[in-house]
Chains A and B, each alone.
Chain A
């Protein structure tokens, strides 16, 4: 598993795509901070709009920027997608999986290793996103003074964002192992959250649907006031999605003729 992480990180660091992705992240974050504009991709809720407008009235030091930019964190779906393609997608579209699998690596070991690599990259991308926000805004407008409420809230926010994002990508991984198609997986990763966002906006009173609206969960995690039941549901639905998709993906992979 650790060998796979070392190998995949080596491969990423020798890929232009990785540097382009990180450059896009820095550009998107920096331009948002410079213009005090946190945008969003997909369906925009009223609460999100209110939060982003209210944020514009504040001074964007490191602390306020981190809270404001948390409402734009769904951009990470598009900034983790290239890393997902470079670490898992290319292995399938170019059949690179043949080399490790034909030389003694079991499919379960391969599957877990690849997912672990993806988890590490997702975590690092979150660190890089919030780290860039913190440093760029700190250098521009000062570092600010974090309250205990902020620290508590931002830890919860990032936790919910990571698990929601992993739920989206669990479905992408399922599609990848099902179809061995990078294109199908990319399309699904982009289209699925948008469709769910739109459906959720249309069927506002269908409660369970909002728990599958992972993109909205990512953007609204900071400013939404959740009851403990709500929090449990969000985490449970996301965890269940991850579990079902990963088990399904592995079972397909295990039985597949390669």
Chain B
């Protein structure tokens, strides 16, 4: 495996506020790495540090193996990025904007503009100027600008924010196509977790400036097996009874909820024993962990009994 990006112990402060706290992560070639976090968790700060819009206070970054300043900027030319809101020249059309960036980047391939426009589906926008674009069109043009130099590594910050459902599907398909046909490595931050799950191959959860979990899609799918969602009025007593029944894998989520991951005891028996102990059951249902609930329980953990 070739490491495209490696962050080592990155810390960034804004005044006295710690935005990133000893962040370490690595991204391998061909990954679509989904960076998950709440607003203000530090996602954009990480991305800005990678593209050098911000400077970290401590720690090292290796991009395609390069860490020295001169070499890093050279390697940065192999990346394309859209950080925060996509920006372009208001008074220019999509095509004119791409020609502008071709001239700036010294791209001489005459087909580059048309290829990029066709790829993102903006070839028919005619004389419409960037200032009159919808958010979806702006996102697409931002992606087209990032793709002009045919990067090996694409960095996208909340690219599906504000897109309508059809545009989201189109955007997802575009990224998957880039990854599969061009072996493009993609780092994408988002809190639209359903979408992120459909395209990413690896995930990192960031909270309060720290990476608290990293996992592959395969690992997640192994973990995201079915469980019994149980809501009772006395969870502590219920936990004791469940343990007595031989159920080893469960989790107290909140003051009413217990998730049971052990299916060795039949539901009917669980209901019977809890009822005998005068525990009122309001819900007992089989559920499946999705990325959203996994994210939620990871950043707001309940009381773990045994393991998940």
Name A residues whose Cβ lies closer than 8 Å to a Cβ of B: 3-4, 6-7, 10-11, 14-17, 90, 94-96, 98-106, 257-258
Query: In whole angstroms, how far apart are the Cα atoms of A106 and B77 in the complex?
Result: 11
Query: Is there an interface contact between A15 and B91, defined as CB atoms closer than 8 Å?
Result: yes
Query: Is there an interface contact between B92 and A3, defined as CB atoms closer than 8 Å?
Result: no
Query: Is there an interface contact between B96 and A103, defined as CB atoms closer than 8 Å?
Result: no
Using known A-B contacts A11-B100, A96-B89, A103-B105, determine if residue A257 contacts B14 with beta carbons closer than 8 Å.
yes
22 chain-A/chain-B pairs, Cβ below 8 angstroms: A6-B103, A6-B104, A10-B100, A14-B96, A94-B89, A95-B84, A96-B87, A96-B88, A98-B87, A99-B87, A101-B52, A101-B53, A103-B51, A103-B76, A103-B80, A104-B74, A104-B78, A104-B79, A106-B73, A257-B14, A257-B48, A257-B54
Query: Is there an interface contact between A10 and B103, defined as CB atoms closer than 8 Å?
Result: yes
Report the number of A-B residue pairs with Cβ-Cβ less than 8 Å.
82
Q: Which residues on the A side are within 8 Å of B91 (C-beta)?
A: 14-17
Using known A-B contacts A3-B103, A258-B48, determine if residue A90 contacts B89 with beta carbons closer than 8 Å.
yes
Using known A-B contacts A98-B53, A98-B87, A258-B48, determine if residue A7 contacts B100 with beta carbons closer than 8 Å.
yes
Residue in B closest to A5 when the chains form the complex, CB atoms: B103
Residue in A closest to B142 when the chains form the complex, CB atoms: A99
Q: Which residues on the B side are within 8 Å of A4 (C-beta)?
A: 104
Query: Is there an interface contact between A99 and B92, defined as CB atoms closer than 8 Å?
Result: no
Residue B211 interfacial (CB < 8 Å)? no
Instruction: Tell me the B194-229 residues at the A interface (CB within 8 Å).
Output: none
Query: Is there an interface contact between A258 and B54, defined as CB atoms closer than 8 Å?
Result: yes
Name B residues whose Cβ lies closer than 8 Å to a Cβ of A: 14, 48, 51-55, 73-81, 83-85, 87-92, 96, 99-101, 103-106, 145-146, 149, 155
* Sample of 7 more A-B contacts, CB < 8 Å, known A3-B106, A7-B101, A90-B90: A4-B104, A10-B96, A15-B91, A96-B87, A101-B53, A103-B146, A258-B54
Query: Is there an interface contact between A94 and B87, defined as CB atoms closer than 8 Å?
Result: yes
Query: Is there an interface contact between B76 and A104, defined as CB atoms closer than 8 Å?
Result: yes
Q: Which residues on the A side are within 8 Å of B81 (C-beta)?
A: 102-103
Query: Is there an interface contact between A102 and B51, defined as CB atoms closer than 8 Å?
Result: yes
Interface centre among A6, A11, A99 (most CB of B within 10 A): A99
Query: In whole angstroms, how far apart are the Cα atoms of A10 and B100 in the complex?
Result: 7
Q: Which residues on the B side are within 8 Å of A7 (C-beta)?
A: 100-101, 103-104
Query: In whole angstroms, how far apart are the Cα atoms of A16 and B92 in the complex?
Result: 11
Query: Is there an interface contact between A94 and B90, defined as CB atoms closer than 8 Å?
Result: yes
Query: In whole angstroms, how far apart are the Cα atoms of A8 and B76 in the complex?
Result: 22
Query: Is there an interface contact between B101 and A99, defined as CB atoms closer than 8 Å?
Result: yes
Query: In whole angstroms, how far apart are the Cα atoms of A42 and B53 in the complex?
Result: 41
Q: Which residues on the A side are within 8 Å of B14 (C-beta)?
A: 257
Q: Which residues on the B side are within 8 Å of A106 (C-beta)?
A: 73
Using known A-B contacts A3-B103, A7-B101, A257-B14, determine if residue A102 contacts B54 with beta carbons closer than 8 Å.
no
A182 → chain B, closest Cβ, in Å? 13
Q: Which residues on the A side are within 8 Å of B100 (C-beta)?
A: 7, 10-11
Q: Which residues on the B side are within 8 Å of A101 (C-beta)?
A: 51-53
Query: In whole angstroms, how far apart are the Cα atoms of A257 and B91 in the complex?
Result: 27
Query: Is there an interface contact between A103 and B77, defined as CB atoms closer than 8 Å?
Result: yes
Query: Is there an interface contact between A11 and B48, defined as CB atoms closer than 8 Å?
Result: no
Query: Is there an interface contact between B52 and A11, defined as CB atoms closer than 8 Å?
Result: no
Query: In whole angstroms, how far apart are the Cα atoms of A21 and B149 in the complex?
Result: 34
Q: Which residues on the B side are within 8 Å of A94 (C-beta)?
A: 87, 89-90
Q: Which residues on the B side are within 8 Å of A15 (C-beta)?
A: 91
Query: Is there an interface contact between A3 and B96, defined as CB atoms closer than 8 Å?
Result: no
Query: Is there an interface contact between A99 and B145, defined as CB atoms closer than 8 Å?
Result: yes
Query: Is there an interface contact between A103 and B48, defined as CB atoms closer than 8 Å?
Result: no
Interface centre among B14, B79, B83, B88 (most CB of A within 10 A): B83
Query: Is there an interface contact between A100 and B104, defined as CB atoms closer than 8 Å?
Result: yes
Query: In whole angstroms, how far apart are the Cα atoms of A95 and B90 in the complex?
Result: 11
Q: Which residues on the B side are within 8 Å of A10 (C-beta)?
A: 96, 99-100, 103
Query: Is there an interface contact between B101 and A102, defined as CB atoms closer than 8 Å?
Result: no
Q: Which residues on the B side are within 8 Å of A14 (C-beta)?
A: 91-92, 96
Query: Is there an interface contact between B52 and A102, defined as CB atoms closer than 8 Å?
Result: yes
Interface centre among B48, B52, B145 (most CB of A within 10 A): B52
B93 → chain A, closest Cβ, in Å? 9
A13 → chain B, closest Cβ, in Å? 10
Which residue of the partner chain, among A17, A96, A102, contacts B83 with CB atoms under 8 Å?
A102
Query: Is there an interface contact between B53 and A103, defined as CB atoms closer than 8 Å?
Result: no
A156 → chain B, closest Cβ, in Å? 36
B71 → chain A, closest Cβ, in Å? 11
